């Protein structure tokens, strides 16, 4: 199967300060709450949120964490920018490789996140659709998570 290439862009405004948005990305203990679909889990075997650092994770339904991911952080500018790769495997097969650029900014009502996902799928259209659905779902869950946390602190 020939690789498929796609560039996906997503923007979401959240009703939380940029510092809280940034922390939700920087802290793996928060990422596992909002970044995976309902009914699935993500477990970090390694988390190094720093330039040159790597995250190694497994994800999927509980009891069946068949997907493995490797994240390499290329650039991090506090509360402004994250650039990283994300390679997803299942068994001994690479399913996809992506370069992700995540930009953070403040708004009058909170903050904005912009994600550019430059993706190569080695297993067909399903991974492209998975990235589209997954990014939208993660950003929706992130917004809800931050809204809930922000309310708890008031």
Among 119, 89, 118, 107, smallest CA distance to 146 is for 107
> Band of the pLDDT at 153, cuts 50, 70, 90?
low
Task: Using the predicted structure, report yes or no on whether residue 151 has a pLDDT greater than 90.
Answer: no
Tens digits of per-residue pLDDT, 77-124?
999 999 999 999 999 999 999 999 999 999 999 999 999 999 999 999
Which domains, from first to last, does the chain contain?
A: 4-153 (3.30.530.20)
pLDDT for 154 beyond 60? no
Whole-number average pLDDT of the chain: 94
Q: How far apart are CA 41 and CA 137, in angstroms?
A: 14
Residue 7 — pLDDT band, cuts 50, 70, 90?
very high
What DSSP line would sit under the chain, residue for residue?
Answer: ---EEEEEEEEEEESS-HHHHHHHHH-HHHHHHHSS-TT-EEEEEEE--STT-EEEEEEESTT---EEEEEEEEEEETTTEEEEEEEEEETTEEEEEEEEEEEEEEETTEEEEEEEEEEEESS-HHHHHHHHHHHHHHHHHHHHHHHHHHHHH-
């Amino acid at each position: 199967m020939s690789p498929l290439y796609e560039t996906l862009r997503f923007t979401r405004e959240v009703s939380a300060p940029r510092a809280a948005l940034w922390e939700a990305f920087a802290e793996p203990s928060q990422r596992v709450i909002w970044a995976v679909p309902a009914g699935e889990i993500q477990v970090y075997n390694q988390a190094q949120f720093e330039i040159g650092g790597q995250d190694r994770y497994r994800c999927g339904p509980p009891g069946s964490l068949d997907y493995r991911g490797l994240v390499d952080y290329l650039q991090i500018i506090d509360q402004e920018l994250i650039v990283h790769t994300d390679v997803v495997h299942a068994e001994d097969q690479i399913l996809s490789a992506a370069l992700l650029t995540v930009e953070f900014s403040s708004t009058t009502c909170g903050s904005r996140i912009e994600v550019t996902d430059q993706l190569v799928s080695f297993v067909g259209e399903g991974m492209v659709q998975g990235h589209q659905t997954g990014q939208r779902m993660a950003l929706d869950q992130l917004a809800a998570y931050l809204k809930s946390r922000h309310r708890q602190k008031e």
